[in-house]
Amino acid sequence: MSLTNTINFRNLRGDLLGGVTAAIVSLPLALAFGVASGAGPVAGLYGAVCVGFFAALFGGTPTLISEPTGPMTVVMTAIVGSMTAANPENGLAMSFTVVMLAGVFQIFFGIFKLGKYITLMPYSVISGFMSGIGVILIILQIAPFVGQANPKGGVLGMVQNLPLLLTKINPAETALGLLTLAIIFFMPSKIKRIIPPQLVALIVGTIVSLTIFGGVDIRRIGEIPVGLPTLQIPTFSASQITVMIVDGAMLGMLGCIDTLLTAVIADSLTRTEHKSDKELIGQGIGNLVSGLCGGLPGAGATMGTVVNIQTGASTAVSGLTRALILLIVVLWAARVTQPIPMAVLAGIALKVGIDILDWSFLKRAHKVSLKVTASLAIENAIKDASEQGRHVLVVGATSKVKKRLDKFGISRFVPEHYMFVDRVDALKQAVALVNPHATDANTSGVSNYTDTYS
């Protein structure tokens, strides 16, 4: 196993373009997650730089983009809240120590080759866990979305204070939050391919706040320290050490699941195969360095990874480029982000929470048993392939199978003439799709091939 990820310069133009585009996508999310976590926007930027760079350098998935994600941010928010409540003076330093511990756990998971077992969790468990995280992330954005400071007590505190928050709505900030959501939801797909809607919402929302609402008191990011981060010394408390270790293990495990699921998506888009254990070691190094630098924990990010691949990236040069661009922002351009309204960042994070919810599972959870949860995973694979314009053929489509496909809505992605009972017929159709001019000799060859290897 090589020490570093796949790095070469044979596709330099595609990798550089992918890195630049991924950096543009990452910037508003890093700021939003930093604010949502309670550690500050600069922690989101440091996390995006550190995890992104070292995971790209030492990981096992060439095109994977790693950064603070919604699930990791939700857990980090709870950790920051509990640590600062237990030890106001050193709580934040202890939270970053938990991030370091998470990185250490991930390195151990990779060294002991546990990567292949982590993705064996039942789909229903992962779906329920992620949907719960999505709900928590949405709840945590309510206060900044309506122009109020976050109440103490985390999610429970937010729910308990919800009536009070709704009676003190700041109309200007709420309008900015709604504008942000409107831009992200309703921006035409053609424009989305050119520029990320989150970045457009960030820019438009900031301009509107400075012009139309120029005379209104609006909560903004404020001053962000420019320059290299101050190293965080690992800080432990005798009364909290057990909690910190458990939180570190939980955070590390969540990062492993989040990353490896994204790595599988990258494999399907690039037709390559990632190295699970190597990827976990890279993620662990990234989170360890991020904690030392006062950054948020991170994992493989689906949105950034897909954008990176679709822009033309094929090696880890893209991830390294993205991290270096964000480092330039941190070192020299952080002051540009000072006027960004908190409500705009809340709108961006709110949309992330909505996207994390597994709507396809939630709509049918009442009629799905544990024995057939694999159908949902198959549906997601078929749906992704259809949206990319690929042909999907189903083999073994007996009447009973077709009824089950209809029940779970999978059949709507596969035309009737692409469902076969016999695999030989399916292979003939596949050959015809790949090569429309295939002759009978070609198809008979397929038949002989299947007879030989069946």
pLDDT digits (tens, 9 = 90+) for 139-168: 989 999 999 988 877 788 888 899 999 888
pLDDT digits (tens, 9 = 90+) for 336-360: 888 999 999 999 999 988 988 877 7
* Same domain membership, residue 50 and residue 142: yes
* Same domain membership, residue 244 and residue 112: yes
215 to 20, 36, 75: CA distances (angstroms): 35, 26, 37
* Same domain membership, residue 352 and residue 377: no
* Same domain membership, residue 448 and residue 318: no
Higher confidence at residue 330 or residue 448? 330
- Provide the pLDDT for residue 227: 79
CB atoms under 10 Å from CB of 138, counted, come to 20
pLDDT digits (tens, 9 = 90+) for 249-272: 999 999 999 999 889 888 878 888
Q: Which domain holds residue 132?
A: 12-360
* Same domain membership, residue 202 and residue 159: yes
Give the residue-averaged pLDDT of 118-134: 76
- Provide the pLDDT for residue 366: 59
Tally of domains within the chain: 2
Residue 297 in domain: yes
Residue 3 in domain: no
* Same domain membership, residue 436 and residue 298: no
- Cα distance from N-terminal residue to C-terminal residue, the chain: 34
Check pLDDT > 80 for residue 325. yes
* Same domain membership, residue 222 and residue 208: yes
Check pLDDT > 50 for residue 282. yes
Residue 7 in domain: no
Give the residue-averaged pLDDT of 236-246: 92
- Provide the pLDDT for residue 24: 87
Check pLDDT > 60 for residue 313. yes
* Same domain membership, residue 326 and residue 440: no
- Provide the pLDDT for residue 75: 93
The token duo for 219 is 């909560």
pLDDT digits (tens, 9 = 90+) for 361-388: 777 665 555 555 556 666 667 777 776 6
pTM for the structure as a whole:
0.76
What is the C-alpha to C-alpha distance for residues 93 and 155, in angstroms, rounded to an integer?
22
Give the residue-averaged pLDDT of 313-325: 94
pLDDT digits (tens, 9 = 90+) for 2-50: 788 888 899 999 999 999 989 988 999 999 999 989 899 999 999 999 9
Q: Are strands 66-67 and 299-300 parallel, antiparallel or unpaired?
A: antiparallel
Give the residue-averaged pLDDT of 101-112: 96
* Same domain membership, residue 162 and residue 95: yes
pLDDT digits (tens, 9 = 90+) for 187-220: 998 888 788 888 899 999 999 999 999 888 899 9
Choosing from 345, 360, 375, the residue where a domain stops is 360
Choosing from 316, 341, 360, the residue where a domain stops is 360
Choosing from 360, 394, 421, the residue where a domain stops is 360
Residue 6 in domain: no
* Same domain membership, residue 297 and residue 439: no
Residue 309 in domain: yes
- Provide the pLDDT for residue 72: 94
- Provide the pLDDT for residue 119: 66
* Same domain membership, residue 370 and residue 351: no
What mean pLDDT is reported for the chain? 86
- Provide the pLDDT for residue 127: 76
What is the C-alpha to C-alpha distance for residues 329 and 344, in angstroms, rounded to an integer?
19
Confidence of residue 279 (pLDDT cuts 50, 70, 90): very high
Give the residue-averaged pLDDT of 301-314: 88
- Provide the pLDDT for residue 437: 66
- Provide the pLDDT for residue 102: 97
Check pLDDT > 50 for residue 441. no
396: left (phi over 0), alpha (psi -120 to 50) or beta: left
Among 76, 74, 73, 30, which Cα is nearest to 323's? 30
Check pLDDT > 90 for residue 223. no
Residue 244 in domain: yes
Amino acid at 56: A
* Same domain membership, residue 421 and residue 294: no
pLDDT digits (tens, 9 = 90+) for 382-425: 777 776 677 888 887 777 777 777 776 677 778 888 888 888 88
